[in-house]
Every structure is written in C-alpha cells, then in structure tokens.
Amino acid sequence: MVRRKKTPHPFDEHLGSAIRAARRRRSVTREALARQTGIPLSNLKRREDGANETSVSELERISSVLQIPTREIVDMALIDYSAAGSVSRGSAQDGLDKLLASVSEAPRTIDAADNVTYLGHVSPGLLDAANTDERTRETD
C-alpha cells in the first residue's frame, strides 16, 4: 500500500512563522532551540517553514525554552492566518473562526461510484448471533 504524503494545513505555515519570530525575538538560534527541546534540527526547520505540522507537545517544549506562553505563539499565528488573503489585519478570534471553518468542512472521501452491492447473508444465522460461547452451543 502506497502511503500518501500528508499535506500540512495552511495554518501550519503561520504557526511556523510565529515560532521563528518568537525564537528570533529571544535571540535563540535554531540549533540551540533544537538541542534544548529535543526536536531534531531538520524537523524544527520544517516546522518553522510550515512544511510539517507542529504537535502540541513540541509547541509546549518550544514555548518553555523560549520562556513565552504557548498561547502567545498561537495567537500570533492566528492573527497572521486571519489576515491571509485579506487587506486588513484580523484578530486571534477571527483567525480561530477561520481555522475552525476550514477544518469543519470534511472532504468527501467516498463517492457514489464507490458503492458496492453486498452479496451474502443479510443477517447472521440465529446460532451465530445468539450463541457466542461453547457453553451455550452445547445446550442446543
């Protein structure tokens, strides 16, 4: 089975940018942050670039090392996300609303053409359905 590459959500790019901005404000190199958080340098780079998703535990470790509340990093990302494609800068709440709207629209994964008529018993036989252990079967 071929495993498809997971595509990050557009929000991940904004979260990565917020992490990078917070790291630079604290004058912490990417190498030092990677070492102190235990996140491999290549992974940290991909997260800052928005190419990979950042897990909650990674975000907590990053904010702990940078001595900045996790909420502050997330709010920075939400504000940027809300303004993406817009001329005005939105709020963190606007970004959250936009993010929730984007993930609540579930993509259709099953098409009508995927329906296959089931051929076989409509329901299990009474013995199979009612008698699931050996003791019950012996009394029949």
- List the chain domain ranges: 10-104
Q: What angle do CA 11, 9, 19 make, to 5 degrees?
A: 40
Per-block average pLDDT, block size 10, for the chain (140 residues)? 75 95 96 97 95 94 96 94 78 87 70 64 56 52
CA distance 95 to 100: 9
Q: What's the CATH superfamily of 10-104?
A: lambda repressor-like DNA-binding domains (1.10.260.40)
CA distance 113 to 54: 36
- Nearest residue to 63 via CA among 52, 51, 75: 75
pLDDT at 92 (0 to 100): 87
